[in-house]
Amino acid sequence: MNFTNSEKIQQRANEAILGGVNSPSRSYKAVGGGAPVVMARGEGAYFYDVDGNKYIDYLAAYGPIITGHAHPHITEAIKRAAENGVLYGTPTEHEVVFAEMLKEAIPSLEKVRFVNSGTEAVMTTIRVARAFTKRDKIIKFAGCYHGHSDLVLVAAGSGPSQLGTPDSAGVPKSVAQEVITVPFNDIEQFKEAFHHFGDQIAGVLVEPIVGNFGIVEPKEGFLQAVNDIAHEHGALVIYDEVITAFRFMYGGAQDLLGVKPDLTAFGKVIGGGLPIGAYGGRQDIMEHVAPLGPTYQAGTMAGNPLSMQAGIALLEVIKQDGVYEELDRLGKILEDGMLALIKKYNIRATINRLMGAMTIYFTDEKVVNYEQAENTDGEAFAKFFKLMLNQGINLAPSKYEAWFITTEHTEQDIQETLKAVENAFMSMTVE
Ligand code: PMP
């Protein structure tokens, strides 16, 4: 494949944009460098780059593109919204409709507020939990990524871990000291944290199904135990469903797993590809937010007409029967096919998959926590990534990220992908 135009544009990007990218995860630093491919157009399950190369896309913009690129129903909603003015600064009915749809989908949401990103949503849930409990400390799980606000950039997985800077410069020590980090899926260490700091902990922040050191499911009973222990000590439980809501099930991970948090943060997935975030939860907790209560959160762009109407259109599409069954069916074909190839070529790799999301880890052992994900073979992943890219399969350039199947992927796309995986494994075995 020829990447001449991508390389030229990236050279200009390096001059004009810090690091050549607007989000660090987009660089190829974690996969041995090189100019990231510059995409020109997305359509359904496919990307076309500025050199005219076609890709089957499994990045799905790091999760949000559940219904594929430029889905006609969502595109139409965005066009219609734009024609009526893109920003009002006044209430609109669309905000209400979308909030009602979220509440209906996710039973723990008694009240909702819209913001503009997952970062904002999580940051605000923490503030609300602190205001409600009148405590300062937060527990998070190692490797879970919750956006780039100060407090959660500690053992933050995803982008920061692939750059080898899990704790960002510029985060005051005094802030980091308010965060207690424990391993995911380890209830003993979680209990220990409460034993030491129980009466100071405002909230526990967790990705109910991890998406930021690959796809990692909670062990049986883990989330219920998190809830029980936190509540016993008067702390709130905050689910970060920025990736998981509507990805695995219409009612979110909490519905799939049958455990209810006190507060939930949403982000990228609910906007149909437009900038968005939302948070919500128990009425008595949410009442602490302005204008009803003393906890401040605001936003000029919050609830903007474009994001609201794109989000409504997305939910209309994925609410239809059979969506999640089909994502699961295709996911299983991909997983089974890859497992067979791993065996055939004797590759040291395992797969974690849930429905239409999966991760290949280059390691022998089943990955259930961040330490294990860190210890997987990054060089093998880097080789695999480039071999796949050169065959027109677009993956996230990091061993910590997931592959996301969309409603637009077909069985033929999966079979083509498996052919590319086989070629990649053959090359890796020969070397
Ligand atoms: N939480 C989770 C679980 C995420 O995956 C992300 C983004 N990858 C965020 C929060 C932050 O969202 P945003 O990038 O929209 O600020």
Torsion angle in degrees (nearest 10) through CA of 351, 322, 109, 137: 0
User: For residue 161, what pLDDT is reported?
Assistant: 46
Strands 137-141 and 393-394: unpaired
Report the phi/psi class of residue 252: left, alpha or beta, with left for phi > 0 and alpha for psi in -120 to 50: left
User: For residue 56, what pLDDT is reported?
Assistant: 98
Of 37-51, 115-129, 141-155, 222-236, least confident by mean pLDDT is 141-155
Q: How far is the CA of 327 from the centre of ligand 1 (A)?
A: 22
Ordered by where they begin, the domains of the chain are: 4-70+321-430 (3.90.1150.10), 72-318 (3.40.640.10)
Q: How far is the CA of 158 from the centre of ligand 1 (A)?
A: 9
Atom number, ligand 1, closest to the C-alpha of residue 62: 8
Q: How far is the CA of 266 from the centre of ligand 1 (A)?
A: 9
* Test site for ligand 1: of 215, 268, 279, 398, most ligand atoms within 8 A of the Cβ: 268
User: For residue 169, what pLDDT is reported?
Assistant: 86
Atom number, ligand 1, closest to the C-alpha of residue 122: 10
**Span 387-395, average pLDDT:** 98
Check pLDDT > 60 for residue 26: yes
Q: How far is the CA of 117 from the centre of ligand 1 (A)?
A: 7
Check pLDDT > 90 for residue 173: no
Check pLDDT > 60 for residue 157: no
Would you say 256 and 248 are in contact if contact means Cβ atoms under 8 Å apart?
A: yes
257, two tokens? 């797993």
Q: What angle do CA 105, 256, 222 make, to 5 degrees?
A: 130
Task: Say what percent of the chain tops pLDDT 70.
Answer: 97
Q: Whose CA is nearest to atom 7 of ligand 1?
A: 147
Helices 411-430 and 378-389 meet at what angle, rounded to 10? 130
Residues near 101 by beta carbon (within 8 Å), at least 6 away in sequence: 312, 315
Please tell me the distance from the alpha carbon of residue 367 to that of residue 359, in angstroms, as a whole number: 10
**Confidence band for 147, pLDDT divided at 50, 70 and 90:** very high
Residues near 89 by beta carbon (within 8 Å), at least 6 away in sequence: 300
Q: Whose CA is nearest to atom 11 of ligand 1?
A: 147
Nearest CA among 97, 205, 95, 88 for reference residue 143: 205
The pLDDT tens digits of the residues spanning 330-372 come to 999 999 999 999 999 999 999 999 999 999 999 999 999 999 9
* Test site for ligand 1: of 141, 146, 168, most ligand atoms within 8 A of the Cβ: 146
User: For residue 368, what pLDDT is reported?
Assistant: 97
Q: How far is the CA of 212 from the centre of ligand 1 (A)?
A: 9
**Span 274-296, average pLDDT:** 98
Atom number, ligand 1, closest to the C-alpha of residue 207: 3
Mean pLDDT for the chain?
A: 95
Of 43-47, 171-175, 253-257, 381-385, least confident by mean pLDDT is 171-175
Atom number, ligand 1, closest to the C-alpha of residue 244: 3
* Test site for ligand 1: of 242, 243, 279, 404, most ligand atoms within 8 A of the Cβ: 242
Q: Whose CA is nearest to atom 10 of ligand 1?
A: 146
Confirm whether the ipTM is greater than 0.95: yes
**CB crowding 301-321: b at 16 or more within 10 Å, else e:** bbbbbbbbbbbbbbbebbeee
Q: Tell me which DSSP letter residue 98 carries.
A: H
Q: Which residues are catalytic?
A: 145, 240, 268
pTM of the model: 0.96
Q: DSSP alpha helices (H): ranges in 71-148?
A: 72-83, 93-105, 118-133
Q: Whose CA is nearest to atom 13 of ligand 1?
A: 118
Check pLDDT > 70 for residue 156: no
Residues with beta carbon inside 6 Å of ligand 1?
62, 117-119, 122, 145-147, 158, 207, 211-212, 240, 242-243, 267-268
* Test site for ligand 1: of 21, 62, 119, 239, most ligand atoms within 8 A of the Cβ: 119
For residue 403, which amino acid is it? Answer: W
Report the phi/psi class of residue 239: left, alpha or beta, with left for phi > 0 and alpha for psi in -120 to 50: beta
Atom number, ligand 1, closest to the C-alpha of residue 147: 11
Q: What is the DSSP string of 193-252?
A: HHHHHGGGEEEEEE-SSB-SSS-BPPPTTHHHHHHHHHHHTT-EEEEE-TTTBTTTBTTH
**Confidence band for 163, pLDDT divided at 50, 70 and 90:** very low
| Residue 43 bridge partners (DSSP) | 46
Nearest CA among 200, 198, 151 for reference residue 173: 151
CA 307 from chain center: how many Å? Answer: 18
User: For residue 168, what pLDDT is reported?
Assistant: 80
The pLDDT tens digits of the residues spanning 256-278 come to 999 999 999 999 999 999 999 99
Q: Give phi and psi for 407, each to the nearest 5.
A: -65, -15
The pLDDT tens digits of the residues spanning 33-70 come to 999 999 999 999 999 999 999 999 999 999 999 999 99
Q: How far is the CA of 119 from the centre of ligand 1 (A)?
A: 6
Q: Whose CA is nearest to atom 9 of ligand 1?
A: 147
Check pLDDT > 50 for residue 284: yes
Nearest CA among 387, 340, 331 for reference residue 359: 331
**Confidence band for 167, pLDDT divided at 50, 70 and 90:** low
**Span 216-242, average pLDDT:** 98
Q: How far is the CA of 91 from the centre of ligand 1 (A)?
A: 26
Atom number, ligand 1, closest to the C-alpha of residue 267: 15
Q: How far is the CA of 10 from the centre of ligand 1 (A)?
A: 25
**Span 319-331, average pLDDT:** 97
Atom number, ligand 1, closest to the C-alpha of residue 159: 8
User: For residue 159, what pLDDT is reported?
Assistant: 55
